[in-house]
A and B are shown apart, each in its own frame.
Chain A
């Protein structure tokens, strides 16, 4: 009977199609990055032949940079709120973690799009190696574009550390995750000094808000971790004192 039922059950599972059934859950979000690369390359390669010389690539690059920046800030804010336990209030630690991971990957995808779409822009005329090698582009704000390129490369180990946590251990994972602060600082500098819109009010408001909120969340996290360590120290001293008392009681000779 059992051998007859088994194929029927398999058939029932396969009838409900879902992407997670085909791809493992860990690899699934990486498809976002691949999609980002694919779309950017497609637009950059086909676009000029279809629409001719256009400023659309430049506008798309600027817009996607802003979106990537906001997504990566969201990811960082969610990540810090997990450790400082603010996420327990809303939206809950597991949801926060999932969104933290997801926004990080989505932000990475948009960052890739921001870079690769510039291949279609013929005003500066970026070449692939100029986009990939830091400080190789001489057409526009060489230093600050190079800073952005370094920030982009810092993002790779940070994002990949989600999937390497079991292999590299918690300490290695934490160290890699610490790079996200450097990434954020570099991308902020890149945006401030090479961004076309950094002079506008809304952009500077965005930069100030993201930087200050992240600084506040991190400060709160440090405060919480200090309190926790103090509590732990106090608890351990109490327990050691208690064990010493019981030891003394047992060692005391019977009267």
Chain B
């Protein structure tokens, strides 16, 4: 191994050997990379296929078992208490006014004016589970008596003989 000037270079035999060794290693690494890449692609194909197959199997199993699952699921039985609040509260209002006028012609006339007022009966129904309604009716009546004195000139004829 000589260079252009014919001189022997330092470590002339060791350097090409190193390069040769490096090339050998690099070639091996390259082959490993290529093999790994191909293997990963094929392995990835297998893994993806397996994963998708397992997912599909799970979903189909779920679909198959769905009627059985529905049948086996207990339906809760019982009475649900109906709690209802009536939106419209009925208000029963009865007002009765009776006016009676009595005129007594003689000697005085007394006029009765009676007013009967019934206090509105408010019904508060309790629509609970028992659905009981209580109505409280408080009737109250007031009567006003008016005495009307009327002076009427009436000729009263008395005879001694009749006495």
Q: Which residues of A contact B (CB under 8 A)?
A: 32, 55-56, 59-60, 62-64, 66-67, 71, 92, 94-95, 98-99, 102-103, 106, 110, 113, 197
Q: How far is the CA of A98 from the CA of B34 in the complex (A)?
A: 14
B43 neighbours in A (Cβ, 8 Å): 63
Give which listed residue, B37, B47, B49, contacts A67 with CB less than 8 A: B37
**Does B107 touch A at the CB level, under 8 Å?**
no
User: Quick one: given A62-B44, A63-B44, are A95 and B25 in contact (CB under 8 Å)?
Assistant: yes
B49 neighbours in A (Cβ, 8 Å): 55-56, 59
A98 neighbours in B (Cβ, 8 Å): 26, 30
Q: Which residues of B contact A (CB under 8 A)?
A: 22, 25-26, 29-30, 33-34, 37, 40-45, 47-49, 52
Determine how close the nearest CB of chain A comes to the CB of B15; give it in whole angstroms.
12
Q: How far is the CA of A84 from the CA of B22 in the complex (A)?
A: 22
Q: How far is the CA of A94 from the CA of B52 in the complex (A)?
A: 44
Q: How far is the CA of A66 from the CA of B40 in the complex (A)?
A: 9
Q: How far is the CA of A59 from the CA of B50 in the complex (A)?
A: 10
Q: How far is the CA of A102 from the CA of B36 in the complex (A)?
A: 14
Give which listed residue, B26, B37, B45, contacts A99 with CB less than 8 A: B26
Q: How far is the CA of A64 from the CA of B33 in the complex (A)?
A: 14
18 pairs from A and B in contact (CB 8 Å cutoff)? A56-B49, A59-B44, A59-B45, A59-B48, A62-B48, A63-B42, A63-B43, A63-B45, A67-B37, A67-B40, A67-B44, A71-B37, A92-B22, A99-B26, A99-B33, A102-B33, A106-B34, A110-B41
A110 neighbours in B (Cβ, 8 Å): 37, 41
Give which listed residue, B34, B40, B45, contacts A56 with CB less than 8 A: B45
Interface contact B33-A106, CB-CB below 8 Å: yes
Interface contact A60-B30, CB-CB below 8 Å: no
A106 neighbours in B (Cβ, 8 Å): 33-34, 37
Determine how close the nearest CB of chain B comes to the CB of A225; give it in whole angstroms.
27
Q: How far is the CA of A106 from the CA of B41 in the complex (A)?
A: 13
Determine how close the nearest CB of chain B comes to the CB of A189; give it in whole angstroms.
21
Q: How far is the CA of A67 from the CA of B34 in the complex (A)?
A: 10
Residue of A nearest to B47 (CB): A63
Interface contact B48-A95, CB-CB below 8 Å: no
Determine how close the nearest CB of chain A comes to the CB of B54; give it in whole angstroms.
14
Residue of B nearest to A68 (CB): B37
Q: How far is the CA of A61 from the CA of B42 in the complex (A)?
A: 10
Interface contact B44-A66, CB-CB below 8 Å: yes
Residue of B nearest to A57 (CB): B45
User: Which residue, B25, B43, B47, B48, has most C-beta atoms of chain A within 10 A?
Assistant: B48
Q: How far is the CA of A155 from the CA of B131 in the complex (A)?
A: 82
B40 neighbours in A (Cβ, 8 Å): 63, 66-67
Determine how close the nearest CB of chain B comes to the CB of A157; give it in whole angstroms.
23
Q: How far is the CA of A25 from the CA of B40 in the complex (A)?
A: 27
A102 neighbours in B (Cβ, 8 Å): 30, 33
Interface contact B44-A95, CB-CB below 8 Å: no
Q: How far is the CA of A32 from the CA of B34 in the complex (A)?
A: 10
